Amino acid sequence: MPFSHILGQNSAISILQRSLATGRLAHAYLFEGTEGVGKKATALALIEAVFCGKEEGCGACPSCRKIAALQHPDLHLVEPDGAFIKIDQIRDLQKDLAYRPFEAPKKACIIDGAERFNQAAGNALLKTLEEPPGNALIILVTAQSSGVLPTILSRCQRLHFQTLPEETIAAYLGRNGIDGEAARIAASLAGGSMKKALEISKETTLSDRKQFLERLIGLSLREITPLFSAAEELAADKDKVMELLELLTSFLRDILLLKGGGEGIVNADLLPILEREAGRLSQTGIMERIGHVAAARHALLRNVNARLTLEVLFMRLAET
């Protein structure tokens, strides 16, 4: 994918193109920013340009086509093996980078999930970052730069990727066949992530969202079994839980806005439910619920037991 096809990252791309034009490309980069905003796509576009010998890959030559298909012999991809990137993966990468390029002017690698190195793997990578063999280009990608080892951060040129504007996301979804209202809702809920917007825009996801919110609203401490059942069911998929908690935060925010007479409601398609809850809850109660959801998200990020975390959250939300 050429640079020109990447949406909303003009600043980062301009820096890279200037470096290419002046021949001052760094040997190691850290692309950081929200998941799903084009970091990996930009990494591939940069490698296309380097291998193509231009400020932007042509997208048509054999080299560019191989990169687009992730089948170029001088391009190496590293992703977490399970929970972590492991030392054997880094040793294999180091062996690959030690060989001369097959076709390209240099070898290149993308390490996706740079926050997930275990200690041994991170330490093994340090010397390669300091002195890449054969002038290799190494690009690390992360959505959580706070989790990247400080020794790795200090050896990379960091490039921040912005979240995408809602208008950009909605327009892209519309061009790709998503209904206008679904595109607007998905763009509003996505937090600037095109990847998340694409997931939310699926009809089943929007339907699940409504069912999830109605289910939580119906929880009561007088009937504890449904509460525990909901926690057990949802705890099985941690990634899904985090998405649902973000949706819940957005829903509570809309109730708060509606109660204050403000504009900018995201979940406009759920207006009857929002109005009912705005009439039932006090402003203080809404703020407390938002705090409870934030505490639950923080606990899950620290790997606290998901089922227990959700049980506590749901009991707090069920309090009248």
* pLDDT tens track, the chain, 320 positions: 789 899 999 999 999 999 999 989 999 999 999 999 999 999 999 999 999 988 888 888 999 999 999 999 999 999 999 889 999 999 999 999 999 999 999 999 999 999 999 889 999 999 889 888 878 999 999 999 999 999 999 999 999 999 999 999 999 999 988 888 888 888 888 889 999 898 888 766 677 778 888 888 887 777 888 888 888 888 888 777 887 888 899 899 999 999 887 677 888 888 888 988 888 889 999 999 999 999 998 998 888 899 999 999 999 988 75
| Architecture per CATH, 202-318 | Up-down Bundle (1.20)
What are the structural domain ranges in the chain? Answer: 3-160, 202-318
From the centroid of its chain, how far is CA 163?
A: 10
First vs last Cα of the chain: how many Å apart?
Answer: 53
Neighbours of 295 (CB within 10 A): 14
* pLDDT in the model for residue 320: 59
The whole-number pLDDT of residue 204 equals 63
- Is 158 exposed, middle or buried (CB count within 10 Å of its CB: 0-12, 13-18, 19+)? middle
Please say whether the beta carbons of 267 and 254 come within 8 A: yes
Going edge to edge, which strands form the sheet with 157-160? 75-78, 108-112, 137-142, 28-32, 157-160
Return the pLDDT at 318: 87
Query: Taking the model in full, what pTM does it have?
Result: 0.80
Residue 261, CA distances (Å) to 108, 256, 278 in order: 54, 9, 10
Q: What is residue 133's predicted lDDT score, i.e. its pLDDT?
A: 83
Q: What is the pLDDT of residue 255?
A: 92
What CATH class is the domain 3-160?
alpha beta
Question: Could you tell me which residues come within 8 angstroms of residue 92 by beta carbon, excluding any fewer than 6 positions away?
Answer: none
